Amino acid sequence: MTARIGVVTFPGSLDDRDTQRAIRVAGAEPVALWHKDKDLKQVDAVVLCGGFSYGDYLRAGAIARFSPVMDTVIDQAKAGLPVLGICNGFQILTEAHLLPGGMLGNDHLHFICRDQKLRVENAGTAWTSDYTAGQEIRIPLKNMDGRYVADRRTLDELEAEGRVAFRYLDMNPNGSLNDIAGITNAAGNVVGLMPHPEHAVEPLIGTGRTDGLPFFTSILKKLVNA
């Protein structure tokens, strides 16, 4: 049976089609999910894609967190459903308290769009098992509100528990504390990051590399071997 991975589209989502294509390239079946529907169509995992849901009014991800689909995503994520949040999806995951901390505007107050070097810190999650800890990768980054923040206790817990999934290398593009580019929950089924792996799955697009593809092959292998 082919693994089915849902991709949620909110008003203002930009990267839902790219994410669906990345899932297809990895060998799984993408399933389009609409923000108003609570039914996840029996998918095996969910991706909250990038964009500017609801125009980023109030705070990035703050309104999307209350979309009907999120009630089901939150409940099933707590029960073990693998969930990946990319950029705006990461912001939504923090607003939904599936991941700790929050996202603020970039410290330089400008939108940033660049190929970003990262170090894989945790290769033990549902979405990162096809990487190796310490591996350096390069995938596109594009955001206005990408500065990860948390109180000192939360940061200490993330570091002590190995829950920093990715860290920025060479430069910190948005002022994120501890150079954090992505984190995971304690169970390892929920991962959020600001850079866009779906734009780096084929050599002819994005960075010209396939450094983002292991996100999607990782979850595929987990689902197939479950």
* CA–CA distance, 71 with 74 (Å, rounded to integer): 5
Residue 7 exposure: Cα atoms within 13 Å on the Cβ side: 23
Q: Which of 70, 110, 76, 109 is nearest to 91 (CA)?
A: 70
Please tell me which residue in 87, 95, 121, 199 is annotated as part of the active site: 87
The structure tokens 């689909």 sit at 69
Residue in 35, 95, 121, 196 annotated catalytic: 196
d(CA 98, CA 63): 15
Residue type, 194: M
Query: Does residue 97 carry a catalytic annotation?
Result: no
196 an active-site residue? yes
- Catalytic annotation, pick one of 49, 95, 121, 198: 198
DSSP letter for each residue of 49-108: --B-GGGG-SSTTTTGGGSHHHHHHHHHHHTT--EEEETHHHHHHHHTTSSSSEEE--TT
d(CA 51, CA 7): 13
Catalytic residue numbers read 87, 196, 198
